[in-house]
């Protein structure tokens, strides 16, 4: 891969960029010994408020950074239900 320019997503450390198609995607990822719920596809202007609401809904910590909301623990069902009730298109993604 020498001589090839890195794609924008690779330069910023994003592993698999998600298409900006208006669909909220909810992933589950194992980090060390615990699970983390990752949410992508939330508009940048709504990111901080969505993270705050989801942390309160799930009763756990989390953060919003680089266009991704991270919630500690496996809360995919609650998160998907939240977005469905809000009238957003949402998909479970990953494993």
Q: Is residue 72 pLDDT above 90, yes or no?
A: yes
Q: Which residues contact 89 (CB under 8 A, 6 or more apart)?
A: 22, 23, 24
User: Does the predicted TM-score (pTM) go above 0.95?
Assistant: no
**Is 42 a member of any domain?**
yes
pLDDT for residue 9 is more than 50: no
**Chain mean pLDDT for the chain:** 83
In the DSSP assignment, the letter for residue 44 is G
> How many domains are contained in the chain?
1
Residue 3 is assigned to a structural domain of this protein: no
| Percent of the chain at pLDDT exceeding 90 | 62
Residue whose pair of structure tokens reads 């992508």 in the numeric block: 40
Confirm whether 4 is domain-assigned. no
Q: What CATH number does residue 38 fall under?
A: 3.30.780.10
Query: Which domain does 77 fall in, by range?
Result: 21-92
Q: What pLDDT does 59 receive?
A: 95
Written as six digits, the tokens of 22 are 């208006």
Residue at 27 is within a domain? yes
**How does DSSP classify residue 2?**
T
Whether residue 6 lies inside any domain: the answer is no
12-63, pLDDT tens digit by residue? 444 555 567 788 999 998 888 889 999 999 999 999 999 999 999 999 999 9
């Amino acid at each position: 891969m020498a001589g090839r320019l890195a794609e924008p997503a690779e330069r910023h450390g994003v592993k698999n960029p998600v298409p900006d198609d208006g669909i909220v995607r909810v992933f589950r990822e194992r980090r060390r010994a615990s699970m983390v719920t990752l949410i992508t596809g939330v508009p940048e202007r709504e990111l901080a408020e969505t993270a705050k609401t989801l942390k309160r809904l799930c009763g756990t910590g989390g953060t919003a950074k680089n266009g991704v909301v991270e919630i500690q623990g496996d809360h995919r069902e609650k998160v998907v239900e939240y977005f469905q009730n809000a009238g957003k298109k949402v998909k479970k993604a990953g494993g």
